[in-house]
């Protein structure tokens, strides 16, 4: 199957790779003011992990709940969380790794709960003829890509320092693998699938070495304090949409395709790699968050500590949502 690498695909890469501030583009003018209008702006990236929000927006679920919600598509990475910090959106969806990086510099951010998890969205591709024990060079992209690569190599009993790590972007990785410039990489579709089509092998998912990631809903502490009921109503709609996405991936794939112009078959396949459902933070989430903070501090991406007991609002979903948690 041939994939075109258009603007939307490249933006999807940034949504999971970037840990720096990105500029935004939105479905309604960014200058439209939220204060006094009841408008709730939700910043999202442009990849299938935001399927519940795309579904709720496309099918009028927010409007049916009496909410005026604007879904703002950003280049991903830190952009959504930075929008919340800047006050240009009220809520955002962010991967755990990115959220924590922004929280390190902005401790007023709060994570309300989880709306998706996956231990199979990220996969390991190796060059034909290369076994895991023989890896000498890995292509990596910043942030979660580097973190997962580090975990994968350690799971093999390899010291990451003994493997040459080549900084790449996900779209570059299949060609580098085919040319023999790298022995492997850890990424997500369509890039892993493209690598397989050109002679590579898909040898593992992150779940095979005990790794996973989550997407969180973020708000500022000041906005949340004044608008907790509204935040709960919005998150309640996301919870309903997440349940639909999990039960009816074809319906979700259509919403994704309509929202970000992704091929419906590709959207359907990617949705199957993700578990959608709203839930509270658990002990495991807190432990993983602390591990991420430690890793990124060691990499020089953040300084100081992140008080996960403060920024992760444990129990908020159970206390505020009508939908039963996943």
| pLDDT given at position 31 | 33
pTM of the model: 0.82
| pLDDT given at position 19 | 35
| pLDDT given at position 78 | 86
**How many other C-beta atoms lie within 10 A of the C-beta of residue 314?**
17
**Rounded Cα–Cα distance for residues 270 and 183 (Å):** 25
**Rounded Cα–Cα distance for residues 246 and 94 (Å):** 19
Q: Are 19 and 77 in contact (CB under 8 A)?
A: yes
Q: Are 192 and 266 in contact (CB under 8 A)?
A: no
| pLDDT given at position 265 | 92
**Rounded Cα–Cα distance for residues 235 and 15 (Å):** 21
At 319 the three-state DSSP class reads: helix
Residue 190 preceded by cis peptide, ω within 30: yes
The residue assigned the tokens 């997407």 is 215
**How many other C-beta atoms lie within 10 A of the C-beta of residue 229?**
9
| pLDDT given at position 325 | 52
The residue assigned the tokens 């501030």 is 21
**Rounded Cα–Cα distance for residues 255 and 232 (Å):** 23
Name the H helices within 198-248: 221-226, 228-247
**Rounded Cα–Cα distance for residues 258 and 64 (Å):** 20
**Rounded Cα–Cα distance for residues 143 and 168 (Å):** 12
Spans in the chain with pLDDT lower than 70: 1-37, 323-326
| pLDDT given at position 301 | 85
Bridge partners of residue 110, in order along the sequence: 219
Residues composing the chain:
326
| pLDDT given at position 26 | 36
**Rounded Cα–Cα distance for residues 213 and 289 (Å):** 10
To 10 degrees, the CA torsion angle through 207, 17, 85, 60? -70
| pLDDT given at position 326 | 55
């Amino acid at each position: 199957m041939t994939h075109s690498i258009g603007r939307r695909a490249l933006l999807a890469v940034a949504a999971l790779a970037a840990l720096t501030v990105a500029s935004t583009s939105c479905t309604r003018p960014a200058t439209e003011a939220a204060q006094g209008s009841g408008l709730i702006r939700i910043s999202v990236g442009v990849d299938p992990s935001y399927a519940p929000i795309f579904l709720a927006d496309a099918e009028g679920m927010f409007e049916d709940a009496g909410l005026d919600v604007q879904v703002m598509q950003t280049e991903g990475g830190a952009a959504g969380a930075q929008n919340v910090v800047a006050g240009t959106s009220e809520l955002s969806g962010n991967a755990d790794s990115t959220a924590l990086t922004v929280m390190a510099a902005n401790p007023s951010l709060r994570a309300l709960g989880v709306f998706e998890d996956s231990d199979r969205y990220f996969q390991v591709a190796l060059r034909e003829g290369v076994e895991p024990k023989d890896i000498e060079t890995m292509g990596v992209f910043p942030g979660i890509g580097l973190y997962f690569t580090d975990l994968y190599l350690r799971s093999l009993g390899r010291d990451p320092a003994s493997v040459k790590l080549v900084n790449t972007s996900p779209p570059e990785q299949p060609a580098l693998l085919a040319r023999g410039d790298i022995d492997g990489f850890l990424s997500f579709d369509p890039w892993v699938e493209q690598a397989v089509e050109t002679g590579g092998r898909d040898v593992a998912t992150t779940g095979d070495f005990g790794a996973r990631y989550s997407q969180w809903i973020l708000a500022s502490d000041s906005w949340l304090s004044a608008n907790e009921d509204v935040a709960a109503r919005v998150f309640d709609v996301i919870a309903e949409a997440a349940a639909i996405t999990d039960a009816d991936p074809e319906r979700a794939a259509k919403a994704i395709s309509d929202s970000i112009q992704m091929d419906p078959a590709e959207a359907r396949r990617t949705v199957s790699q993700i578990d959608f459902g709203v839930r509270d933070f658990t002990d495991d989430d807190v432990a993983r968050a602390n591990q991420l903070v430690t890793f990124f501090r060691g990499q020089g991406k953040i300084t100081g500590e992140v008080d996960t007991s403060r920024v992760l609002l444990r129990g908020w979903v159970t206390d505020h949502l009508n939908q039963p948690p996943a």
